[in-house]
A and B are shown apart, each in its own frame.
Chain A
Amino acid sequence: MATAAASTQSERRRRKSTASILLTFLGSMNLAITLLVALAIASVIGTVLQQGQPYQDYLLKFGPFWFEVYEFLGLYDVYSAPWFLFMLAFLVVSTSVCLVRHTPFVWKEMTRFREHQQERSLRALGHRREWLVDADTETVAATAETALTRQGFRARRKNKGDGIMVAAMSGRSNRVGYILTHLAIVVICIGGLIDGNLLVQWQHWTGQLTVETRDIPVSQVDDSSKIPPRRTAFRGNVTIPEGGRAGVVFLRLGEGYVVQELPFRLHVKDFRIEHYDTGEPRSFESDVVLHAPELDEPIEQTIRVNEPLVYDGHAIYQANFGDGGSRLGLRAWPLDGGEPAEVETHVNEELALPGDHGRRLEVTDFEVFNIHPVPEATSRREVRNVGPSFTYRLRRPTGEALEYENYMLPVDIDGDSYFLSGVRRSPGDEFRYLHIPADPSGGLDRFMALLQQLRDEDAVAAAADRAMEDIGITESRVRQQVGREAHGMIQTLLESGFDAVMAEQQQRAEARGGDAPERLMDFYRLVVERTLWEAYAQVLLDEDIDPAEPAEEDLVFYSDAITAMTALADYQAPVFLELTDFDHRQATGLQIARAPGQNIVYFGSLLLTVGIFLLFYVAHRRVWCWVRPASGGAQVLLAGSSQRDPMGFAKAFGKLEGDLNQRFGDRRRDASNGVSGDST
């Protein structure tokens, strides 16, 4: 068989057809190495450019021109790009050709002992040693054969004329290693190809499948974006809220997704996160029930990270988690005065907020635990739970939205507690937090009462009146006028911040202050400060606290409250949303995959491992021992060489040489005649 293969090989070569030139090219080592290096470089792209992001993000990042170029090159999913797959296929073809062309030679290498070697050519080999032994050729040849066998060689004896040629080789499996490794690459690539998403890509390309980009319920997805249950490979994700069911997964494709229908339905009973004492998550697990028509009893199992549920070739993994639409009870405190309103909503729901500001509320997330490091922590293990939080967007009628993050409970900062609410313009920014001081009972009431006082024109006028009485201004016309001005300045403070009030004071002072505007400015500042205090005093009075003898905490509250008031301008929300109660509902993120090529890939991996060890740790070696009668005994020539592993061979040859030397022992008649080869 080997001979037949070899002869067709040579015939082909003689013909020198285009096919043979192509075959030679495909099987050439230069091509193989070029492909290896090219694949390595191409693979870098996908690690530098984040794969599978929303197209909008790429557009923002690269601008319209480069976005198009990169999209054309398939860089957003580079490992499925036609050119990348083509390169992989090229490697497979090249390896296969290499394998097919070389296997006959390898087979010959493994099976032929080359006992027809001439003495002349043996003398040309790198390692040689000669002895003259006082024994007959049969004995010497048999001794050589034994020595070779003991050193791990397989030997074959052949009588040639009056001499005996003992041809030996060891490590034939090294050549098997060559076949296994290269076969492994082909097998692994075929397995990988089976598990790739080529089929879906093809259907998309030929228009049988359209990509859905909208975030809509599955029931509304068009049938052209749905794939019925199938036996081929896919890998997709689905998020199921606790108590919810699903019979599909979403496969990411291009700029959107397609819906893969499953031959079973999953019901998620519960999702749990367990925590270590330090607050880090310890386990994520989902209790799921799998219903399938062919099952008499549904399968109930808990899926954990590292412990998937496997059913009918589908592996179901715990991939991530999120909120499954928790119910949130909110109290919307208007920041422009007025009574709070109770609102109920769910995560991922949107609704119009009460009030005439036209804002819509979109709650995006809810967290029960927020583990943060203790402020003055010396080690990473000092953490605390600051309680539930939720994030939401307030969208103006124009479509712009700011994002907020509110904590349910006041957070302790340097001994005082504050309600924190973060605001940011875009997801890329950091939240900037509004610190609203919690009142002694731990609520928002006092702050909101003060805010209401300051928003109420009559209340401010009354406070200003009391303030001016304190200062000692008696003229009622001045008191009325300044009272109105104080209200205006406080509104400026609430709406535009501290700097704006300063500017307004300066403007008013310059307009009316005559030759000493500075004094008038100081006066205005004093009036505003006193008015604020008097408004606060009223709030305290309403709480039955004597403002004349405020407690330390009331003073701290006052200064924190004024700081928060001046920051309201940057907060840019018409309401403050207080989280009053919630029903937590989580959602589990499952990944469901079918990989029929998996076992092929594993088999290939096994071949690869075995092959590599054979290649590296079994050396293919050949030596010849030529024994011919000489005067008074036998002349022995031991010779061999190795291109691939000269040092290992030298060692093995030296051992063999020593063995024979010892075996011939005192039968050696003429040791000096032995030509020790250039065994370096």
Chain B
Amino acid sequence: MSTQQILGEDTYDDRGFLARLSLFDWLWAAALLLGSVYASYHFAPWMDRYEHGILYLTWASTVAIGWMWKPARLFTIVVAAVTLFAVMRYPDLAAAETDFFLNYLLSSQAAIMWMCALFLAAPVVYFAGLLGRAAFLERLGTAMMWLASGAGLVGLLVRWWESYLIAPEVGRIPVTNLYEVFVLFAFTTGLIYLYYEYRYQTRALGGFVGLIIAASIGFLLWYHFVQGAHEIDPLIPALQSWWMKIHVPTNFVAYGAFAIAAMIGVAYLIQARMPNAWQRRGLPSPEVMDDLMYKNIALGFAFFTIATILGALWAAEAWGGYWSWDPKETWSLITWLNYAAWLHLRFTKGWRGTPMAWWAVAGLFVVTFTFLGVNIFLSGLHSYGEL
């Protein structure tokens, strides 16, 4: 034992996660905390103690995300700055039409329209980059995805402010109807995709994921122009709860991840037909796509589980029981069982590849029915976003 020594102690950077954080990481986290503290004092009359809790929880999770995924830091800074700029120019609703910035860029309607335009263009650019093997176009696609997600988030944040401008008692977080959650879905999916694009260093799947976002944008535009769904309506009593603030966003992380998994499934199946041609263009190997599919379904499943549990906790407070076999609840269970079966097959039976890709695609139909079909075809306690 006396001869024992540890080699390389002096050369290797083995500092822990926190020690490896830069000064900028800390400053950024501190600035966000300062903003949160300010908000929690400034808006105290409108918040109960749960909402204060949710505010700091949001801060903590944003910091955790930013520390693990560095580009998110810049994203939050830009979104915060732009939103604050918009809010400062927005003393009353009339400003939305008279102020240049609000009218063309930053009122919730303008920002959401920019989001729509960018999300519609992104898959075109991504596919052009993939098919034409043009790295520049793919980078442009990524930029558009970032901008679109930012525009969507700014749009919802400004809409939050607008709802209070209508009347203080009308004010509420804009995740309460089908129109708003479609915006939420679009940019959440965009951000989750961007995270995996960064982690896996491949832009080749952007077009595929962009397609499902574009589809949701198509619905959003129809809903806006044909149904006039963009108007801010006051909240019915059942939805006036702080649970809204955590239940809905959690759900949409899950929906977004499931949607990405399905679109990677599509890419997988397309590549399986002509492996060489597609791999030459830069589509990741089947193993990588399989792994990505699993990562997204796992993320979706974890968040879906939490969202459903949060929903049950809320239901216990609003509907008189944590489980009522309401169509939305039941379809959530069906979705959950479906992905539970998928994960079991992968974990214990070691299934991989084509059948699992097909299943992931089919899973999206179940998710879509849970998300949308239940509202359209079935009636129940959950019928808020009616068509």
Contact = CB atoms under 8 A, between A and B. Distances in A.
A143 B6 contact: yes
A312 interface: no
B317 A306 contact: yes
B348 interface: yes
B386 interface: no
A281 B341 CA distance: 43
A634 B379 CA distance: 72
A47 B330 CA distance: 7
A662 B11 contact: yes
Contacts of B233: 278, 280, 380
Interface string B324-366: 0101001101100110110011011110000000000000000
Interface in B1-29: 1, 3-9, 11-12, 14
A608 B309 contact: yes
Contact of A381 (B4, B7, B231): B231
Interface residues of A, number: 71
A146 interface: yes
Interface stretch (B36-44, B98-106, B236-244, B270-278): B236-244
B305 interface: yes
B234 interface: yes
Contact of B170 (A36, A276, A283, A612): A276
Contacts of A37: 337-338, 341
Interface in B30-59: none
A388 interface: no
B340 A146 contact: no
A120 interface: no
Given A306-B317, A380-B233, A598-B322, A47 B327 contact: yes
B319 interface: yes
Contact of B231 (A139, A379, A593): A379
Nearest to A612: B302
Interface stretch (A106-114, A346-354, A412-420, A641-649): A641-649
B238 A306 contact: yes
Contacts of A381: 231
A598 B313 CA distance: 10
A601 B322 CA distance: 9
A277 interface: yes
A306 B241 contact: yes
Nearest to B338: A40
Interface string B289-333: 001000000110110011001001100111111110101001101
B341 A305 contact: no
A150 interface: yes
Interface string A537-574: 00000000000000000000000000000000000000
Contacts of A643: 350
A76 to B, nearest CB: 12
B215 interface: no
Contacts of A39: 337
A307 B334 CA distance: 29
A639 B321 CA distance: 53
A602 B313 contact: yes
Contacts of A485: none
A662 B170 CA distance: 62
A608 B167 CA distance: 41
Contacts of B331: 47
A44 B334 contact: yes
Contacts of B97: none
A306 B316 CA distance: 9
A133 B6 CA distance: 13
Contact of B237 (A139, A284, A595, A665): A284
B317 A308 contact: yes
A143 B8 CA distance: 8
B116 interface: no
Interface in B186-236: 228, 231, 233-234, 236
A46 B231 contact: no
A283 B237 contact: yes
Interface in A164-181: none
Nearest to A91: B337
A276 B11 contact: no
Among A39, A315, A647, chain B packs the most CB atoms within 10 A around the CB of A647
Contacts of B380: 47
Contacts of A665: 7-8, 11
B327 A305 contact: no
Interface string A583-616: 0000000011101001001100100110011001
Contacts of A315: 316, 320
B169 interface: yes
Given A281-B237, A605-B309, A235 B320 contact: yes
A646 to B, nearest CB: 7
B49 to A, nearest CB: 14
Given A276-B170, A593-B321, A595-B322, A36 B347 contact: no
Contacts of A282: 169, 234, 237
A617 B331 CA distance: 26
Contacts, number: 165
Contacts of A259: none
B151 to A, nearest CB: 25
A39 B12 CA distance: 53
B134 interface: no
B40 to A, nearest CB: 22
Contacts of A662: 8, 11-12
A290 B305 CA distance: 37
A29 B7 contact: no
B92 interface: no
Contact of A79 (B7, B11, B309, B325): B325
B306 A36 contact: no
B122 interface: no
A288 to B, nearest CB: 15
A192 interface: yes
Contacts of B3: 136, 138-139
A605 B5 contact: no
A139 B6 CA distance: 6
A380 B298 contact: no
B5 A616 contact: no
Contacts of B347: 644
A377 to B, nearest CB: 11
A663 B12 contact: yes
Contact of B236 (A44, A135, A280): A280
Contacts of A150: 12, 14
Interface in B241-298: 241, 287-288, 291, 298
Interface string A295-311: 00000000011111000
A612 B287 contact: no
Given A138-B1, A280-B236, A612-B301, A36 B12 contact: no
A379 B321 CA distance: 37
Contacts of B124: none
A280 B322 CA distance: 27
Contacts of A136: 3-4
A436 B9 CA distance: 97
Contacts of B333: 40, 43
A647 B350 contact: no
B140 interface: no
B10 to A, nearest CB: 10
Contacts of B318: 305-306, 317
B291 to A, nearest CB: 5
Contacts of A601: 312, 322
> A-B pairs with the 7 shortest C-beta distances?
A663-B8, A591-B320, A305-B237, A47-B327, A40-B337, A143-B7, A616-B298
24 contacts: A36-B337, A37-B337, A43-B337, A44-B334, A47-B380, A135-B7, A142-B6, A143-B6, A192-B323, A276-B167, A277-B167, A306-B238, A315-B320, A595-B321, A598-B322, A609-B305, A612-B302, A646-B291, A647-B291, A662-B12, A663-B6, A663-B7, A663-B12, A667-B7
Given A44-B330, A47-B378, A601-B312, 11 more contacts: A33-B344, A43-B334, A47-B330, A138-B1, A139-B6, A276-B167, A276-B169, A282-B237, A317-B320, A595-B322, A612-B302
